[in-house]
Amino acid sequence: MKKIILSLALIIASTTAFSQVTVSPGVKAGFNLANLSNVDESTTKLGLQGGLFVNLHLSSFYELQIETAYSSQGATFEYKEYDFFTDNYRTVKEDLDLDYISLNIANKFFPIKDIGLNLIVGPSLDILVNSDHYNDATPIDFSLFGGIGYEFPFGLGLEVRYKQGLIDVREDYYDYYDEDDDDFYNGDNALNGVIQFGVTYKFDFSKM
């Protein structure tokens, strides 16, 4: 009898917990300030980002958000170039575009009950879809991101994230040749680093 009562209690508890889970689709858009580490003469590049997500509200303090997004990354190179016509050096800026489709798992923590302030942390798998500079750019990147956001009761949200790539974006790229060893050597890794500013909107179909 005790086992039956315990089993029923577990079923009721599981059903209650599951009934509190809210699934909400949403959209996000914003812009990136991107750069590459350990690359000479590189500066911040402005790019766009945006995509879709599914948000699982699991408790009053935790949400799991699965995202797929486009993210324009890379860097801007700024260097001096000699101009034969003016007999002077001029500053040249050239963008390196590294465009990705990102698959993100965002863990959102709400430290204050009934307040939309949240902390965001999670991993990202970035699949390269365009590169206009490195012919042999690494086809994937694995990143970690963290940030802070705020969600309003009517579905709108604002957030800022920093995403750090962990894989060298230059596949089979060598920085220098050592004549003594007769071999090529790769220097410091060129890693993606992106500050992301975003606006989100979460649809609440339960009120429709």
pLDDT in tens, 111-167: 999 899 999 999 999 999 998 866 678 999 999 999 999 999 999 999 999 999 999
The pLDDT of residue 38: 82
144 DSSP assignment: E
- Domain architecture of the chain: domains with CATH: 23-207 (2.40.160.20)
**pLDDT attached to residue 78:** 74
pLDDT for residue 67 is more than 70: yes
- Report the mean per-residue pLDDT for the chain: 84
Name the token pair of 17: 């917990």
More confident residue, 46 or 95: 46
The residue among 2 and 199 whose pLDDT is bigger is 199
In this prediction, residue 25 has a pLDDT band, given cuts at 50, 70 and 90, of very high
What pLDDT score does 186 carry? 57
- For tokens 């858009």, name the residue: 29
Please give the residue that has the higher pLDDT: either 69 or 15.
69
12: confidence class by pLDDT, cuts 50, 70, 90 = very low
**CB contact burial 39-65 (16+ within 10 A = b; e otherwise):** beebeebebebbbebebebeeeeebeb
CA distance 54 to 64: 8
Q: What is the pLDDT of residues 172-206, one digit of tens each?
A: 665 555 555 554 455 678 899 999 999 999 998 77
- Cβ-count burial 17-31 (b if 16+ within 10 Å, e if not): eeeeeeebebebebb
